[in-house]
Structure 1
Amino acid sequence: MISVILVEDDPMVREVHRQFIERIDGFKIIGIAANGHEGLQLIRQTQPDLAIIDMYMPYMGGLEMLREVRAEGFLVDVIAITAAQDIETVHRVLQQGAVDYIMKPFTFERIKKSLENYRFFRLKLKEKKSFSQPELDQLLFMNNMEEKEEELLPKGLTMPTLTKILEFISNASSPVSAEEVAENIGIARVTARRYLDYLEKEGKVKIHVQYGGVGRPVNRYGM
C-alpha cells in the first residue's frame, strides 16, 4: 500500500478528496491536516510515500510547506491540488518537485489517472536497478505516452489492469496462479490468463510450473 497524507483546509473539500482517494486501489490515507504547519508535522511523524497538498491554506500555504519539506530532506512525493492557474505558481510548485499539478475543481477520473500513473511510476522504480534512455523517457513522459501504450496492447487489455496485475505479482511472496490473480484483481479467470500470457510473452513475468500429485500441473507466475 502507498501511504498518503492529505493536506487541505476546507473540511468539505477535504472529505470529497478523501473519498476519491479511498476509491483507488493501492492507496491508504494515514493522516489528514488542515494547514501547512499540521501537514509538515504529519510528514515528520509518519514519513508517508505521498503527500497531496492544497496550495492556498492559512498559517502556512502549500508552497511554503513544500519548501520546508525539501529543506528538511524528506523524500516524500507530492501532488499539488490548487485553484491557482497562473504560470508563476505552477512553475514554483514544479520546481519544488511535485509529480503532478491538479487544478480545482477536478473530477474523480483526473485524480484517479494521477494516482494510477504515480503507482506505475513507483512500480517501475521498484523493479528496475538501472534504466536505458528509452525506458527512462517512457517513465518520465508516461502521461504523454499513456494513450500510445494503450494502443500497443492487445485488444481488450488495458494499462490500469495490467499495472494492478504486475503490482500484485511483484508484492506476492511466491509465484501466483491465474485464479489467484483473478480473485485479487476482480476479473474473470480467462481474462487473467490473457493478461498473464501477454506479460510472459513480453518477458515481464516468468512461469513456474507446479506439479501436484493428481491432475494437470498448474502454471504460476512470478517476477
Structure 2
Amino acid sequence: MVASIHTRFVERAEGFRVVGVAATGETALAEIERLSPDLVLLDVHLPDLSGIEVLRRLRGAGNDVGVVMVTAAREADTVRAAVAGGAAHYLVKPFEADDLHWRLEAFRASRAALAGSATPGQDDIDAAFAPLNRGREVLPKGLSRETADTVLAALDDGVERSAAECAEAVGISRVSARRYLEHFVAQGRLAVRLQYGGSGRPERRYRRA
C-alpha cells in the first residue's frame, strides 16, 4: 500500500520513473544489481534486513547508487548511519508528494553538476553539494510548486533560455515565467546573463546555476 503511494509520488515528478519495487532487503539488493537505477528510495524497516544494512552492503560492494531514506525511523543513531552510508536525503514518513519532489530535484541537480567532467572545478563541486544542503524554499505568494518545478525542468538540458522561451515551453505567460525565473535566480538555483542586441533593453538569459 505504502509502496504504491510512493510509486505514484515518483511518477508525478518530472524526469523520474519507477523501474522496480522490492518488499525485502535481499530482493532490493538483487534488483539494484539487476536494474542499475540512478536512485533508490529505501525504508529502514524491512522484513529481513534493515535499510541501513542494505545501504552498508551496497557501499561495501562499491555501489554508489543514490539513496534517499524514506522511513518512520527517527532514532539519531539511524540517521547518523544513513549519513555515514552516503544517503542523499532522509525523509520521515508520512510525507506529501512535494516533500519528496524537491528532494528528487535536489538529487538530480547535484548529479547534473558533475556530469560530463572527470575533473570538475570548484564551482562544479560547490554546485553539486549546494542542492543537497538547501532546504525546500518557500515560494512567494501567487507562485505554485507544480509550475515552479516545471519551469526548472525546462532548463534541465543546460541550454540558456529567455523568459519568453521558458513561457512557451511551459505554457504560461512571459510575465509569469519571469517571476519564477527571477525567484530561482534569487535562490541561487539559476544564473542570469544579459544579452545585448542592436537596440533596446538587453535580454535576460537564464540557465542552471
- Same structural fold, with TM-score higher than 0.5 when normalized by the shorter chain: yes
Q: Unaligned 5+ residue runs, structure 1?
A: 1-11, 211-218
What one-letter code is carried by the residue in structure 1 that aligns with 2:110?
F
Hey, what does 1:30 align to over in structure 2? 19
Identify, as 1 or 2, the structure richer in helix. Answer: 1
- Offset of residue 98 of structure 1: 0.7
Q: 2:157 aligns with which of 162, 171, 177?
A: 171
Taking a change above 3 Å as real, the CA distance of residues 121 and 185 of structure 1, as seen in their structure-2 partners, is farther
Taking a change above 3 Å as real, the CA distance of residues 138 and 157 of structure 1, as seen in their structure-2 partners, is farther
Hey, what does 2:3 align to over in structure 1? 14
**Structure 1 residue 204 corresponds to structure 2 residue 191:** yes
Taking a change above 3 Å as real, the CA distance of residues 16 and 156 of structure 1, as seen in their structure-2 partners, is closer
Give the alignment's TM-score, normalised by structure 2: 0.71
Deviations 1:112-138 (A, max 9, x none): 332233233334444983225976774
Q: 1:105 aligns with which of 94, 97, 103?
A: 94
Give the alignment's TM-score, normalised by structure 1: 0.67
Superposition RMSD in Å: 4.0
Deviations 1:5-45 (A, max 9, x none): xxxxxxx0111111112222221111111111121122212
- Alignment partners' CA distance in 1, 2:103 and 2:184: 24
Runs of 4+ aligned structure 1 residues displaced above 6 Å come to 155-160, 197-200, 207-210
SS in 2 for 1:143: coil
Check the 8 A contact 1:81/1:103 in 2, yes or no.
yes
Q: 1:116 aligns with which of 98, 105, 121?
A: 105
Identity %: 34
Check the 8 A contact 1:207/1:222 in 2, yes or no.
no
Identify, as 1 or 2, the structure richer in strand. Answer: 1
- Alignment partners' CA distance in 1, 2:103 and 2:156: 21
**Structure 1 residue 190 corresponds to structure 2 residue 175:** yes
SS in 1 for 2:154: helix
**Structure 1 residue 141 corresponds to structure 2 residue 124:** no
Hey, what does 1:130 align to over in structure 2? 121
Taking a change above 3 Å as real, the CA distance of residues 33 and 207 of structure 1, as seen in their structure-2 partners, is farther
